[in-house]
Amino acid sequence: MVIRRADRAAAPGAEAPSVRPALRRAAATAGARARLVACLLLSALSVALSLVVPRLLGAVTDLVVTGMRGEGGVDLPAAGRLLLVAALLVLGSSAAAWGRGLLAQSVAQGAAYRLREAVSAKLSRLPMAYLDAHPRGDVLSRMTNDIENTSTTLQQALTQITAAVLTIAGLFAAMLWLSPALTVVALGMLVLSALVTRGLARRSRPQYKAQWDAMGEVNALVEEAVTGHTELVAGGRTDQAEQAFDERNRVLYRAGLRAQFHAGVMGPATTFIGSLGYVLVAVLGGLRAANGDLSVGEVQAFVTYTLQLGGPASAVASAVGVLQSGLSSARRVQALLETPGTPPPAPATASGGATSKQVSFEHIRFGYTPDRVLFEDLSFAARPGETVAIVGPTGAGKSTVVNLLLGFHAPWSGRVLLDGTDIASLPRAAVHRQVRAVLQEPWLFTGTVAENIAYGADEASDDAIRRAARAACADHFIEALPHGYATVVGPDGGGLSTGQMQLVALARVFLADPEVLVLDEATSAVDARTEVRIREASARLRRGRTSIVIAHRLETVRDADTILVMEEGRVVERGGHDELATRGGRYAALYAGLDGSGEPV
């Protein structure tokens, strides 16, 4: 196995969907909207209470200064009352901030939950073309890393950013009330800080997108290295896999370093500008106090507001980097959600009403990429109850026929018909109720053997499951498993051989009892004894059903009613076995070259 580079997932700048739909999911329910409003109100309350405290402390300072200048001394009871009120306001502001944090966490986790639900529902309806173009690791990264990053960013936006913006607005209102002239100085510093932040944010945005794209590519390589570990070791390709991973990891490192560099500059830059503004305000405020334009307590309050302004300004600047990262992740998630998918499953009554038994391909034109046409004008039919076998060399298009019949891909032109109805007009669930396949690589889900056989038929009884297993010649080895039908297996088979996994897949189809059967190279990569069982079960399963059989082993299709010989997407011969074997054409050449196992040589 050769680990492929995952850079085909998306070209830089290719995906730039609006993040508004993703953000709307944060408030998709009435409860979430209520928590969102409550979060904003608590933020406003916390900021408002905190803004009163400097004025109270300034009033205490004025009491002390006035008392020291007069003969009556300092009014300690009044100062004590002011300090007590200030302490209560600090306590109230902290409590409001705590409540805001809890609500923000609830909103963010709810948004992540709804995004995961949406992506999970979308995964079952993604077209095969999307999965062909995006490595599985990249899709997993969008569902896990990107959603988690979006949730974290939303939480910080509702706490740090919102509170910082409200604080800045409240501080300027309080400062403007005290001294418009000094406020102009502070405002100038804030505008300068905003311009610097905007410039750095503009530079960091593409870096964050590159970082999260690179993260998806690294995840794709890791996923392939884990799932294909056996092939890597057996093929001696571990060095190449490590080199490919090292290349993509370096890309991720450089992209992350550039993104964090721009984000890291924002905080120090705004802190410097804030400190410069503090010095100017302190000097000018002292001069105005000396002239009698402001009291000492008012200058103290204004200077305190100026100091408080630096914190929120730095928080906004630092959060801009986090916000850019989160928006990049949200766009990646939204790009997946906006991918046109197949129609959602419909109830059984919506299948169109007809029992499908005849399969027809009419003038199909199709290719996996626009620049390479695989089928130019493919036409054939499988009549009710007939077995049509498709043979030919690798790359002839045999498995593509299965992909089109199962609706994994749509033809560019032409029609695939079930009893005269175009499958494009049927819900995918309706097609899959009538057409079942045993694919070249059988797949088992994590669960018991019985649950795997009953997959898609949840109401099946234990007796029905056992009858299906016996019909598929699978009962003998299932009973020999440590826990029989209750033995837990998984995608890797859980100790089952490839042939045994195919027998379980056949039992699943027996239980589903479809009108149309597809066998895609169901006897490849199995031992001779298991192949015999698979052939017996397949023959039993084909009785009375329209069947399409795809195999390289020509011995497995001798009893087919019609054999199609395909080469480079074209049907070059068709007919029965005896007819084709004596015609002296391509099929006869393939059949004459069989080795002892029935494999073409």
Residue 353 backbone class (left: φ over 0; alpha: ψ -120 to 50; beta: rest): left
The residues facing 361 across adjacent strands are: 380, 416
Q: Is the dihedral of CA 110, 112, 117, 121 positive or negative?
A: positive
Contact 331, 208 (CB under 8 A): no
Strands (DSSP E) contained in 171-272 are none
Residues 6+ apart with CB under 8 A from 413: 363, 364, 365
CA–CA gap between residue 123 and residue 591 (Å, rounded): 42
The confidence score (pLDDT) of residue 349 equals 40
The confidence score (pLDDT) of residue 9 equals 39
Q: Is the dihedral of CA 466, 467, 470, 472 positive or negative?
A: negative
The confidence score (pLDDT) of residue 230 equals 59
Contact 135, 224 (CB under 8 A): yes
pLDDT tens string 86-118: 899 999 989 998 988 888 888 888 888 888 888
Q: Within 13 A of 437's CA, how many CA atoms are on the CB side?
A: 22
pLDDT tens string 133-151: 777 778 878 888 888 888 8
**Residue segments in the chain with a per-residue pLDDT below the cut of 70:** 1-30, 68-74, 227-237, 262-263, 267, 274, 289, 310, 313-314, 317-318, 320-321, 341-356, 492-494, 521-526, 552, 593-601
DSSP structure class, residue 342: P
The confidence score (pLDDT) of residue 413 equals 92
Residues 6+ apart with CB under 8 A from 323: 153, 156, 157, 161
Contact 399, 520 (CB under 8 A): yes
356: phi then psi, degrees, rounded to nearest 5 = -85, 125
The confidence score (pLDDT) of residue 304 equals 81
Amino acid type, 528 = A
332: phi then psi, degrees, rounded to nearest 5 = -65, -40
pLDDT tens string 443-482: 888 889 999 999 878 788 999 999 999 998 899 899 988 8
The confidence score (pLDDT) of residue 7 equals 38
> What are the structural domains of the chain?
20-337 (1.20.1560.10), 358-592 (3.40.50.300)
Instruction: List the 375-382 sheet strands across, edge first.
Output: 375-382, 359-366, 413-418, 421-422
Q: pTM for this one?
A: 0.59
Contact 298, 277 (CB under 8 A): no
Residues 6+ apart with CB under 8 A from 601: 593, 594, 595
> Burial letters for 312-336: b for 16+ Cβ neighbours within 10 Å, e otherwise?
bbbbbbbbbbbbbbbbbbbbbbbbb
Q: How far, in whole angstroms, is CA 287 from its chain's centroid?
A: 60
Contact 111, 26 (CB under 8 A): yes
For residue 78, what are its two tokens? 């009044």
The confidence score (pLDDT) of residue 203 equals 73
Q: 207 vs 183, 257, 574, CA distance in Å?
A: 36, 9, 57
CA angle, corner 423, sides to 418 and 424, nearest 5?
Answer: 160
The DSSP line for 143-179 is IIIIHHHHHHHHHHIIIIIHHHHHHHHHHHHHHHHH-
The confidence score (pLDDT) of residue 84 equals 92
The confidence score (pLDDT) of residue 28 equals 59
Strands (DSSP E) contained in 214-334 are none
The confidence score (pLDDT) of residue 523 equals 53
CA–CA gap between residue 601 and residue 588 (Å, rounded): 13
